[in-house]
Amino acid sequence: MKPSEALPKFLRSIGRGTDAQFYLELFRAEAKERFAAIALEDAIVGEAPDAVVLDLRFLSVLGLTPVVVLGLDGPLAPAAVAELKARLGDAQLKTAEFRGARPVGEIIETVRGGVLPLVMVEGEQPAGRLADLGQMLAAMQTRKLIFLQDEGGMRRDGRLVSVVNLSSEYTELIGAPWLSERQQALLQWSYQLIFHRVSHQLVVAVTSPLDLLYELFTVRGAGTLLKRGALISVYRSLKEVDTERLRELLETSFGLPLRQGLFSRSLYRIYLEDNYRGTALVAQTDLGAYLTKFAVTRQAQGEGIGHDLWQQVAQDHQTLFWRARPDNPIVPWYEKQCDGRVKADPWIVYFKGLPVDDVASAIRYAVSQPIDFEHREGG
């Protein structure tokens, strides 16, 4: 299949063509070796490699070559590695095998040549194998490490945990009874890699082979994202922030120009990711905090920065209410964050921690607020 034929088919299969196109262009704009490393658990290599082979074949057709990491659980049986290589060969994928991650320069040249590196990490103990992996990720400046396992992402009471902020949630999760022994290990490995083995921005995802493409090419992903956690600063006045960068962030996120007036209104708190990739603007009312704007750039959405912003805002405000148009793509996420919602055409008004007696007043307040963006009937 030619890339020109594969891409449209792929975009249709994902169901979010604009997301997939965005990430494909993002990946292609970076150095080839930065794309991703995919670590396979032993069970997948030995028993169920077919889905992985299909994923790798498709990525190859798109011009993307990840590093495949083997042996994190310990030395693999030579027969299992040989079988994996044979299946990759049947899928017309060229491979090169590396014993250990130290020949990083050779691995990088292999990736740049479109040949799939199969890297068997070395070390008698897990700590040694993790150090070997960390050295390679640091040298290649890998942007994303994906652990593929049969059970997929981490689940609590049957519900997928989509994002874990390792800065604030790691201690709470270590020893959590709802995490399997394998997932506890992945949690600890991720923490060690992100905080102690690399200095660049690395995110880790845990997902299944069947969901790999969704994890790579959609904003919401399809597994559990483990990350350092964004640096969120809180300001009390717009005079303390770069309003031009804030304007650019808002207009980029919403895809529309701002009307005059938003920055002249009284804001109680301005939450900003330190690189201006996400913001929450909060006004104070007699009913509690009103979320005027919540915006995160598309790339930052895929890194879980919205999760970090929301954590900070919700922690600071027991009572919070806001509005959104029904066609706002973030509506499904808002549904999970609120205690309740009311349709008030053309809006949906959401609230969290709001007394029942105040709901009607909150709706009136939200609906009466000015429209902030040009060329639309709501904003």
Statement to judge: residues 41 and 145 lie in one domain: yes
Q: Which residue has the tokens 């997301």?
A: 19
CB 215 within 8 A of CB 222: yes
State the CATH number of the domain containing residue 223. Answer: 3.40.1160.10
- Backbone dihedral region for residue 344 (phi beyond 0: left; psi -120 to 50: alpha; all else: beta): beta
Pair (192, 97) in one structural domain: yes
- The per-residue pLDDT for range 321-361, each reduced to its tens digit, is 999 999 888 888 899 899 999 999 899 999 999 999 999 99
pTM equals: 0.82
Q: Based on the domain organization, do 238 and 257 belong to the same domain?
A: yes
Last residue of a domain, one of 206, 227, 248: 227
Note whether 181 and 295 are same-domain residues: no
Taking only the tens place, the pLDDT of each residue in 119-143 is 999 988 999 999 999 999 999 999 9
Same domain, 17 and 141: yes
Regarding whether 122 and 43 lie in a shared domain, the answer is yes
Could you count the other beta carbons within 10 Å of the beta carbon of residue 227? Answer: 22
Q: Is the pLDDT of residue 377 over 70?
A: no
CB 211 within 8 A of CB 44: no
Query: Do 265 and 319 sit in the same domain of this protein?
Result: yes
Q: Residue 271 domain-assigned?
A: yes
Q: Are residues 193 and 265 in the same domain?
A: no
Strand residues in 121-274 grouped as ranges (E): 144-148, 155-156, 159-160, 163-165, 203-207, 224-227, 232-235, 269-273
Full domain range(s) for residue 329: 232-368
How many separate domains does the chain show?
Answer: 2
157 and 92 together in one domain:
yes
What gap in Å lies between CA 21 and CA 62, rounded to an integer?
11
178 belongs to a structural domain: yes
Residues making up the chain, counted from first to last: 379
Displacement of CA 256 from its chain's centroid (Å): 24
197 falls within a domain: yes
- Other Cβ atoms less than 10 A from the Cβ of 242: the count is 12
pLDDT tens by residue, 209-254: 989 988 998 877 889 999 998 889 999 999 999 999 999 999 999 8
Rounded distance between C-alpha atoms, residue 323 and residue 206, angstroms: 33
